Structure 1
Amino acid sequence: MSEDPRPTASGIGRVLVVVYAVLALAATGRSGYQIATKFAEAPVAYSLSAIAAIVYVVATVALVARGTAALRVAVVAIVFELVGVLAVGAASLLDPALFPDETVWSRFGQGYLFIPLVLPVLGLLWLRRVHRARRASTVAATEAPS
């Protein structure tokens, strides 16, 4: 049996990967600069930016990879991302003193046009669609006459 095609090789899946890759680069650059130049000013905020960067890199790689394990890693990374955006977003509004400088997820991603808030929802919807399509394909293959 041949390897599953990458669901992110074309269409909306490709757009999703591109947006994740751009956020991975932006978050990595921002957190690297913040940690290297002014970490003592806001260690919590800058550490959270680094965590966001790692999550975006992992999600991007998992979305590009093939197979069930990659799909699972993508789901875990994107769920973590959603929880992080919601928790950091709420904390940054409730206690702004914790966040003297912006992070990727502070104020629910306001500095990134709220893309960090919307992206994980879209990502999880996409992954659900991919999972259902794979499951339907597997069922159809097992029911087909030999």
Structure 2
Amino acid sequence: MAEPRGERRGEPRATASGPGRVLIAVYAIFALSATARAGVQIAAKFSEAPVAYLLSGLAGVVYILATIGLAGRRPGYRRLAWGAVVFELVGVLVVGTLTVFDTGDFPDDTVWSVYGRGYGFVPLVLPFVGLWWLRRTSPKG
């Protein structure tokens, strides 16, 4: 009997299967919310906190790329997901730390401010879950 597609020995499991679907949905929600928030902030009050609003826009783009990467089935999509999720983790840790210790440069919150406090710290947890899922669905051998 043939093994299901994407589950043959040495071939990565689909990241969009099982719990991966929930992960992709969460990334898609964050992609939409971060991008929309940044768009409104940049259009309406960019001069008030340009760094914060541009970082929120960057976060939105990263969430979009992670969503696309996790939803795709080809190896290129997996590489995209790895890159986006690692970048997201570094971003949330760096921006989170900067906003804890130097609030002057961030007069308004970004998605990643104080490790995603404004979003229930989901931005801090999400890349760890994403990396775990990518690792779990990687080729076994």
- CA deviation map 1:96-139 (0-9, x unaligned): 011111110000000000000000000000000111xx333xxx
Gaps of 5+ in 1: 137-146
TM-score (normalizing by structure 2): 0.89
Residue 35 in structure 1 maps to residue 48 in structure 2:
no
Number of matched residues? Answer: 133
Residue 100 in structure 1 maps to residue 100 in structure 2:
no
Deviation at 1:69, TM superposition (A): 1.2
Q: Secondary structure at the match of 2:108?
A: coil
CA spacing shift, 1:3–1:21, aligned 2, 3 Å: same
Q: What corresponds to 2:70 in structure 1? A: 63
1:68 is aligned with what amino acid? P
Deviation at 1:53, TM superposition (A): 0.3
Residue 117 in structure 1 maps to residue 124 in structure 2:
yes
Gaps of 5+ in 2: 8-12
Deviation at 1:7, TM superposition (A): 2.1
- Cα contact 2:15–2:137 (8 A) shared by 1: no
2-structure distance, mates of 1:123, 1:111? 20
Deviation at 1:36, TM superposition (A): 0.3
- Cα contact 1:49–1:105 (8 A) shared by 2: yes
Kindly name which structure, 1 or 2, has the bigger radius of gyration based on alpha carbons.
1
Q: For the aligned residues, what is the CA RMSD?
A: 1.5
Q: What corresponds to 1:26 in structure 2? A: 33
1:80 is aligned with what amino acid? F
Q: What corresponds to 1:16 in structure 2? A: 23
Residue 44 in structure 1 maps to residue 51 in structure 2:
yes
Deviation at 1:3, TM superposition (A): 6.2
Q: Secondary structure at the match of 1:135?
A: coil
The runs of 4+ residues in structure 1 deviating greater than 3 Å are 2-6
Q: Which structure is higher in RCO with an 8 Å CA cutoff and minimum separation 6?
A: 2
Identical pairs, percent = 56
Among candidates 93, 117, 135, match of residue 140 of structure 2: 135
